[in-house]
Amino acid sequence: MASIAVALSKDLPNGRVMRAIVSEQDLVVWRSKSGILSAWENRCPHRGMRLSHGFVRGEALACMYHGWHYDKSATCRYIPAHPELEPPETIRAQEFSSIEKGGLIWVSVDGSLEEPLIDENLTPLRSINFQCASKTVQEVITKSTKLAGDTDPFNFTTKAAGYHHWVLFSEKKELNLHLFFHELPNNACKIHALIDKDCPAQIQKQISRMMESWRRSAETDYEVSAK
C-alpha cells in the first residue's frame, strides 16, 4: 500500500495537532512550533490516551492526560509528575512515515513511503467528509460529469482516474481539479481537493458547493443500496 494523503497542509499549521485514520490505523499527526511534521500511533504509551487530544509545547507533543512530553523522535523526554527523572529511551510512541508534498500531508502505515508523484504547485481547496465508500462517490462524480451540459460553469471531464487520485479537467476554465480519496473505516471517506492554479474565491466556492452536491447524491445512493 502506498502513501495516503490525510490532510491539506494548510489545515495543520505549526503548533497544531490532528487525528487521522489510515487503513484502520488511528494516528496523531502533529506539527511542532518550528514546523516539523510527525505521524504516530494515536496512543500515549503511558495510559493509552489518544495523543491527538494533546498539546504542542515547542518541539514536543504533550499528552493531555498526564502531560508526558514526546520529542520529534517520538521518545518521552519529560514526565511532569517526576520532573527530576530522565525518562528511559524505551518510552516511545510508535512512529509512522510521513511526508509533505504538493500541499498535502502523506502518511504510510506499512513502512513503504513512496514519494507521491504530484504537481508541486497546487492550490489547496478543502477536505470534505463523506459517509459512504469512495467507490460510491466516484460513481456519482462520473455520472454528474457525464450529465453536465454546456450550461455547466465547469463542464469537467475525467482526465485521470487512479485508485486514490482523480484529475478532473475543465476546458472552459482551463483548470485541473485534483481529488485525493482517503478511505476511512465504516464505509466513510474523505476527499482532499486541490486545484492547479490560483483562481478567484468565487470559483473555489462553486467547486466547494459542487462537492457538497456530490455528497448529497452519494450519501443518498449509499442509503438506497444499503436497504
Query: Binding residues for other proteins, per CB under 8 A?
Result: 7-8, 11, 15-20, 33, 52, 55-60, 62, 69, 71, 77-78, 83-84, 86, 126-127, 129, 131, 186, 190, 201, 204-205, 208-209, 212
208 closest CA partner among 189, 184, 191: 191
Nearer to other proteins, 36 or 160 (CB): 36
Beta bridge partners of 26: 21
Q: What is the DSSP letter of 75?
A: B
CB 226 → other proteins: shortest distance, Å? 16
The H or E element that residue 211 is part of is helix 201-226
Nearer to other proteins, 158 or 208 (CB): 208
CB 15 → other proteins: shortest distance, Å? 5
Residues 4/22, Cβ–Cβ less than 8 Å? yes
Cα radius of gyration rounded to whole Å, the chain: 20
| Longest CA pairwise span in the chain (Å) | 71
Hey, what's the cell of 125?
481547496
Phi-psi category of residue 90: left, alpha or beta, with phi > 0 → left and psi -120 to 50 → alpha: alpha
Measured CA to CA, the distance from residue 17 to residue 64 in angstroms comes to 12
Nearer to other proteins, 83 or 111 (CB): 83
Nearer to other proteins, 117 or 140 (CB): 140
CB 46 → other proteins: shortest distance, Å? 17
Nearer to other proteins, 32 or 138 (CB): 32
Instruction: Give the number of other Cβ atoms within 10 Å of residue 153's Cβ.
Output: 13
Nearer to other proteins, 7 or 74 (CB): 7
CB 75 → other proteins: shortest distance, Å? 11
Hey, what's the cell of 18?
490532528
CB 167 → other proteins: shortest distance, Å? 21
Q: Map grid coordinates 454546456 to a residue.
A: 150
CB 174 → other proteins: shortest distance, Å? 19
Degrees to nearest 5, angle at CA 191 with 189 and 195: 175
